Amino acid sequence: MSGFFEKLGTTLEMIKFEHTLFALPFAFLGAVLAADGLPTWWQILWITVAMVGARSAAMSFNRIADRKIDAENPRTADRELPSGKLSVGFAWAFMLASCAVFVVAAAMLNRLTLYLSPVALASVLGYSYAKRFTSFSHLLLGWALAISPTGAWIAVRGTLDSEVPILLSLLVMMWTAGFDVLYACQDFDYDRKKGLRSIPARFGIKGALWIARLFHFQAFIVLLILYLVTGLGTLAAIGVGATGALLVYQHTLVKASDLSRLNAAFFTTNAFVSVILFATFGGAVFLK
């Protein structure tokens, strides 16, 4: 039994299960905005299952696709596949099972979510090969996370009938692209050496930091537009202000000459952004 739990823990570590926190609150916010209140418990259950399934599939496929690259990179050589803690065959089985869970969850929500499930899977899986072809793969990762709030809106309403989920998705896309550019700075030397494409590899760390700031500035502008469109009042305005402050703070932690606080910028502040927006915009819906 202990072996089972050990393998489960290793699998959860492979897919960085705890990072689901980044995207799940945005999906819940999309659902709350769509329902103009609390969605049904059935919808909440299957939206959660769909999110976990999609992200588990995406992360396991990413680890499979990158296993040889990870083995050569000192920062990632100890990951579960290159180190042999998990087999490639197990990773494939887990990925396919996660895809199946996602499709079942989509089918349990409504017909449109089921029809769109292949598009969603293609988006979250396709990112893994993007850095072989484009330096702007960060935007494709942003797109992969950004479909979650619009998907949750469709899960609740069965249609896409408002600009609100599109704005929320655009916010997530630019926010994600910005923090992924920051994260990619730590692989600057390796990516250039191996010919892998990324914004830091193409523009240098200093240029990449400015591009990350631009992406986050765009995300904040979209957040302001979302606030004005929804008209959710004071609590949502507090969320806008807090998010802006966190974005600014994130960029004070990282300098071209000092990336030592990158993990604090990436993990701590990003986890707070999604939770704050869900709490403030979602809370404002219930107050209204």
Least confident piece of the model among 15-24, 93-102, 131-140: 15-24
188-231 confidence digits (pLDDT tens):
887 787 777 889 989 999 999 999 999 999 999 999 999 999 99
Answer yes or no: is pLDDT of 264 > 70. Answer: no
Q: Average pLDDT in the 168-193 region?
A: 88
58-67, 85-94, 163-172: range with highest mean pLDDT? 163-172
* CATH superfamily, region 23-287: UbiA prenyltransferase (1.10.357.140)
DSSP 6-42: HHHHHHHHHTTGGGHHHHHHHHHHHHHHHHTSPPPHH
Q: Report the distance separating Cα 216 and Cα 228, nearest Å.
A: 19
Answer yes or no: is pLDDT of 23 > 80. Answer: no
Answer yes or no: is pLDDT of 97 > 90. Answer: yes
- Count of C-beta atoms within a 10 Å radius of residue 110: 17
Answer yes or no: is pLDDT of 1 > 60. Answer: no
What's the pLDDT band for 267 if we cut at 50, 70, 90?
A: low
CA neighbor of 136 nearest in space, from 197, 187, 188 = 197
pTM, to two decimals:
0.90
Determine which helix (DSSP H) or strand (DSSP E) holds 85, and give its type and residue range: none
25-70 confidence digits (pLDDT tens):
999 999 999 999 999 999 999 999 999 999 989 888 988 888 888 7
CA neighbor of 182 nearest in space, from 96, 240, 264, 238 = 264
Answer yes or no: is pLDDT of 151 > 90. Answer: yes
127-144 confidence digits (pLDDT tens):
888 877 888 889 999 999
- Higher-confidence residue of 210 and 72: namely 210
Q: What share of the chain is helix, strand, coil (3-state, %, to 5)?
A: 80, 0, 15
Phi–psi pair at 243, nearest 5 degrees: -65, -45
Q: Average pLDDT in the 235-251 region?
A: 94
Residues in the chain: 288
Per-domain residue ranges of the chain: 23-287
User: What are the beta bridge partners of residue 120?
Assistant: none
The pLDDT assigned to 135 comes to 85
What's the pLDDT band for 18 if we cut at 50, 70, 90?
A: low
- Count of C-beta atoms within a 10 Å radius of residue 213: 17
